[in-house]
Every structure is written in structure tokens, then in C-alpha cells.
Structure 1
Amino acid sequence: MTARSEYHQLYNLSAWRRRLRPQHLERQPLCQACLRRGLINDGSLTSAGVEQSNPRRRFLVVDHLIPHRGDRALFLDPSNLQTLCPDDHDQNKQRLETRGYSEERGDDGWPIDPQHPANQ
């Protein structure tokens, strides 16, 4: 059994599906990563700011800032949540978690994350 399958049942909890997730999306209905880049994305755009052509990717993800890894208290902690578009969740955030730094670039093209090797 993979680690994900060990804790995936948390996403079926009524507290998550009927309360925490919908309440979070009501309070934070836009992708936070896109907002930091100056884009207003309600799930209808890609992280690059163009219309999302795949209708199956037109939604928002309630993401855990700190990966919960099955910790129920951390999973249900509303202060540990952020809203992301699928691109930012599935690509950019996972790269960040794997590498330990963001690839996000400033207007000058230089990495903005102080942890990026180019800034060391």
C-alpha cells in the first residue's frame, strides 16, 4: 500500500467534504499562487493566465500548506489551507516540495526564492 492510499480516506471525511473544504473555498475563491503573480484565477485559467482548455481541470484545489502525511489534526487545521489552481497544485507546488525551492521567477527572470541555488 502506498503512503497516499494510507491517508487518502481523510478526503472522504464529512468534516472535510461538507464543512472545511466548502467553507475554505467560500473564504478564498481564487488561486493564491496566481494572485501572487498578479493573475485573478477562479479555476478557469492555467497558471500562465490563459483559458484552461481542459474542462476537467477547471476547478480549484484546497491545498495543505504543510503536507499532512496522514496527520488528521494537521489535515483538518483550517490555518493550514490555501486555494490553488490545478497547475499550481499539481506541478509548481509538487516541484517545490520535491526540490525544496521554487522555480518562480521575478519580472527580471531571476528566481525569487531565496532557497533557489542561483540565490545561494
Structure 2
Amino acid sequence: MSQDPRPWRRLYKTAAWKRLAAAQKAAEPLCRTCLSLGRANDGSLTGSGERQGNPRRRYLVADHIIPHRGDAKLFHDPGNLQTLCPDHHDRDKQIEETRGYSERRGEDGWPIDPRHPANR
């Protein structure tokens, strides 16, 4: 059995994290990305605004804006949290963290992230 390359994952099981995540979702009960797109999503919609058909994906996530990578201070910083729906957390945010830029597009279809290769 190999070791987990992300030993900090244990932090998500702590009571302190559960309290912090619950407080974040109570303070910001809608997906921040959906709101920026003009949709009020309390977890009942997909990232594209359709009704969430999968009951197992009807929830919200307390997401770290700046990836903590095991830094306990950054992990527990309430100012480093935002609320996201599963699509924006599991798909878009993960892609952004992996690639280093967002794929979000403006109304004209052009990438809005200045870090996107098309904007360099």
C-alpha cells in the first residue's frame, strides 16, 4: 500500500474543519461562481443552471480560494473560503488549479482569465 501523497487530507475530518465549513456555508449559502453568472444556486442546480438531477450532488462545498497544500494556517483561515456548487468545485476549480488558469469565458466567448494562454 502506498502512502497518500496528500497527507493533509486528514484535516478535512476534524471537528474544527466541519465547524468552519458549516459557518462558511451559513454565511454564504449560494454558490459564488453561479452568483457571478447571475444564478442563485443553493445546490439544487448544476453549474450550467439546469436542475440538479442527481440527488447525491445537491449540496454546497466550502472551498479554499488559495489552495492550502497542507498549510494549516491557510487551511483554517475563514477569509480563504468561498462556497461553491459541486460542478464549480469538482470540475472548474480543479481544472483551474491543475492548469493554472480558468477556462471561464465572457459573453464574447473569449477567456476572461488574464492567465489563460489566449490572453498572453
Partner of 2:4: 2
Over the aligned positions, Cα root-mean-square deviation in angstroms equals 0.9
In structure 2, the residue matched to 1:106 is 106
Greater mean alpha carbon deviation, residues 41-50 or residues 66-75: 66-75
1: CA distance between counterparts of 2:114 and 2:10? 36
Query: Which residue is equivalent to 1:65?
Result: 65
Tell me the TM-score normalised to structure 1 length: 0.94
* Mapping of residues 44-83 of structure 1, within 5 Å: 44-83=44-83
Encode CA deviations 1:33-75: one digit per residue, 9 max, x unaligned: 1111111110110000001111000000000011111211111
The CA distance in 2 between the partners of 1:97 and 1:22, in whole Å, is 24
Q: How many residues align?
A: 118
Report how far residue 89 of structure 1 moved: 0.5
- Name the structure 2 match of 1:43: 43
The Cα of 1:118 is off from its aligned counterpart by 1.2
AA aligned opposite 2:4? T
SS in 2 for 1:3: coil
Structure-to-structure mapping, 1:91-102, within 5 angstroms: 91-102=91-102
Q: Give the aligned partner of residue 13 of structure 1.
A: 14
Gaps of 5+ in 1: none
Structure 2 CA distance for aligned equivalents of residues 71 and 115 of structure 1: 24
* Superposition TM-score, scaled by structure 2 size: 0.94
Counterpart of 2:100, as a letter, is G
Give, in whole Å, the separation in 2 of the partners of 1:118 and 1:72: 35
- Which whole-Å CA distance do the structure 2 matches of 1:61 and 1:10 have between them? 15
The Cα shift of 1:2 comes to 2.0
Aligned to 1:27: 27
